[in-house]
Amino acid sequence: MKNIPVKRVDLIFEKIVCKEIFKKIISMDPERIIQSVIDSGLKGRGGAGFPTGLKWQFAANEKGDEKYIVCNADEGEPGTFKDRQILDEVPEKVFCGMAIASKAIGAKYGFIYLRGEYYFLVSKLEKKMDEFHLLMKEMGHDFRILLRLGSGAYICGEESALFESIEGKRGEPRNKPPYPTASGLFNKPTCINNVETLVYTVMILKYGASHFMHLGTKDSRGSKVFSVSGDTPKAGIYELELGMSVDEFVEEFGDGDTKAVQVGGAAGFCVPRKRFADTVIGFEGVPTGGSMKLFNSSRSMYNVMHNYLDFFAEESCGQCTPCRVGCQQLLKGIEAVKKGERSSKYLDELVKLATTMKLASKCGLGQSVGNAFSSIVENFKEEIIY
């Protein structure tokens, strides 16, 4: 299989006149809008990768006229900083994406749930929202966006915890089913999309589904904004076509001494050097919400993992047993092995525990702690033990 080399794309940050696009869209049938998004093959850019068009379809099929669009701007995955840039540079495109979604599913209200630490964006967003609301009025489209701020909890990026938070409750994930498209915010059908996903829907409707579909691979259509950080001379935000291998990525961004890349943040996977060539960045390989962290040989992978586990032990909502206690056990467990209080065999017990956390946790947070843990233990066992 031939991988796609690192290729820059300029869709997300391309300056466009939203009014013109919206003029085109307002006359379209909801079905046609949804079909375009389905045809494009766009998958959610927050990390989980649910097909966006399908999500819209589900929400559109729900009865009732009280539905919501929610923009998930609670960007909290360690090593991700792209949504902040998008909201700073092209907020009107995010609003436009929400308006398109509202047209597609029949919603009158949208919420932006903004990460609490991005408070500095608020005044700018509010100003742009006022302009946007005037545009909506002019276009005769009944849609209003409300801004809500988080308070710093990572878990509130989980969709159902995010709803709870907007509703004024403690941000704890709900049981699923029901899924948000059936019963989401205020228990109404809700379509929740990541900031980047919403902007892509605008570009898909501007240039057509096929333009997007021709980028990327069969499983990972289009392009994606990456937040590159760690041991790299080129830290920053890059929009790249999907489908490249980690090898190609490292070639472009590495410092010549890269030993591992953490793809997808703390909840993602660690790819060691020996796997660079045969690992594709995308849904067929390692998916990512954008975080790409490079580590060179000066880094201790024990420290890297300790850092991630510390983060999870702190940021688990604490509701379900596997996640709350499991995170603490993994953290204390590697400490005990490092100090020699437990034998290296104990790591095998911890890997089994990580599997249970993946299988039995209530939400995506607990389910993904095992990703980083297992992939680091598997590939850097000696660094953990000695």
Partner 1 sequence: MIKLSINGLLVEVPEETTILEAAKKLNFRIPTLCNHDDLCVAGNCRVCVVEQLGGKALFAACGTPVAEGMQILTNSLKVRTARKHVIELLLSEHNADCTKCYKNGQCELQNLANEFSVGDHIFLDLLAHKEYTIDRFSPSIQKDDSKCIRCQRCVRTCQELQGVNALSVAYKGMHQKISTFFDHSMAEVICTNCGQCINRCPTGALVERTYLDEVWDAILDPDKHVIVQTAPAVRVGLGEDLGLSPGERVTGKMVAALKRLGFNSVLDTDFTADLTIVEEGNELLSRLKKAIVDKDENTALPMTTSCSPGWVKFIEHTFPEFLPNVSTCKSPQQMFGALAKTYYARAKDIDPKKIVTVSIMPCTAKKYEADRPEMRSSGYKDVDYVLTTRELARMVRQAGIDFSQMKEDHFDRLMGASSGAGVIFGATGGVMEAALRTAYEIVTGREVPFTDLNIMPVRGFDGIKQASVKIENCLDEWKFLEGVELKCAVAHGLSNARELMRAVKNGDLNVHFIEIMACPGGCLGGGGQPIPTNQKIREERAAAIYEEDMSMPIRKSHENPEILQLYEEFLGEPLGHKSHELLHTHYKERERY
The residues binding partner 1 (CB under 8 A) are: 153, 155, 170, 172, 175, 177, 312-322, 324-329, 332-333, 336, 342, 349, 352-353, 355-356, 358-362, 367
Cβ proximity to partner 1: between 59 and 153 the closer is: 153
**Measured from the CB of residue 272, what is the shortest distance to partner 1 in angstroms?**
25
- CA angle in degrees (0–180, nearest 5) for 158-67-363: 20
**Measured from the CB of residue 259, what is the shortest distance to partner 1 in angstroms?**
30
Cβ proximity to partner 1: between 89 and 314 the closer is: 314
Q: Tell me the two tokens of residue 76.
A: 């909290």
**Measured from the CB of residue 76, what is the shortest distance to partner 1 in angstroms?**
13
**Measured from the CB of residue 101, what is the shortest distance to partner 1 in angstroms?**
28
**Measured from the CB of residue 350, what is the shortest distance to partner 1 in angstroms?**
9
Is the Cβ–Cβ distance between 186 and 68 less than 8 Å?
Answer: yes
Is the Cβ–Cβ distance between 185 and 148 less than 8 Å?
Answer: no
For 249-252, the CB contacts below 8 A with 24+ separation are 249/6, 249/281, 249/292, 250/276, 250/294, 251/6, 252/6
Neighbours of 14 (CB within 10 A): 15
**Measured from the CB of residue 37, what is the shortest distance to partner 1 in angstroms?**
26
- CA-only gyration radius of the chain, Å: 21
**Measured from the CB of residue 112, what is the shortest distance to partner 1 in angstroms?**
23
Spatial separation of the C-alpha atoms in residues 275 and 326, rounded to whole Å: 28
Give Dmax (Cα) for the chain: 69
Spatial separation of the C-alpha atoms in residues 171 and 179, rounded to whole Å: 17
Cβ proximity to partner 1: between 153 and 203 the closer is: 153
DSSP character string of 138-196: HHT---EEEEEE--S-GGGGSHHHHHHHHTTS---PPPSSSPTTTS-GGGS-EEEEEHH
* Residue positions counted in the chain: 386
Cβ proximity to partner 1: between 187 and 210 the closer is: 187
User: Minimal CA–CA distance to 156: which of 206, 115, 99, 112?
Assistant: 115
Q: Tell me the two tokens of residue 109.
A: 């209200």
Cβ proximity to partner 1: between 128 and 358 the closer is: 358
Cβ proximity to partner 1: between 161 and 204 the closer is: 161
Spatial separation of the C-alpha atoms in residues 130 and 101, rounded to whole Å: 19
Cβ proximity to partner 1: between 92 and 164 the closer is: 164
**Measured from the CB of residue 345, what is the shortest distance to partner 1 in angstroms?**
11
Is the Cβ–Cβ distance between 118 and 151 less than 8 Å?
Answer: no
**Measured from the CB of residue 26, what is the shortest distance to partner 1 in angstroms?**
38
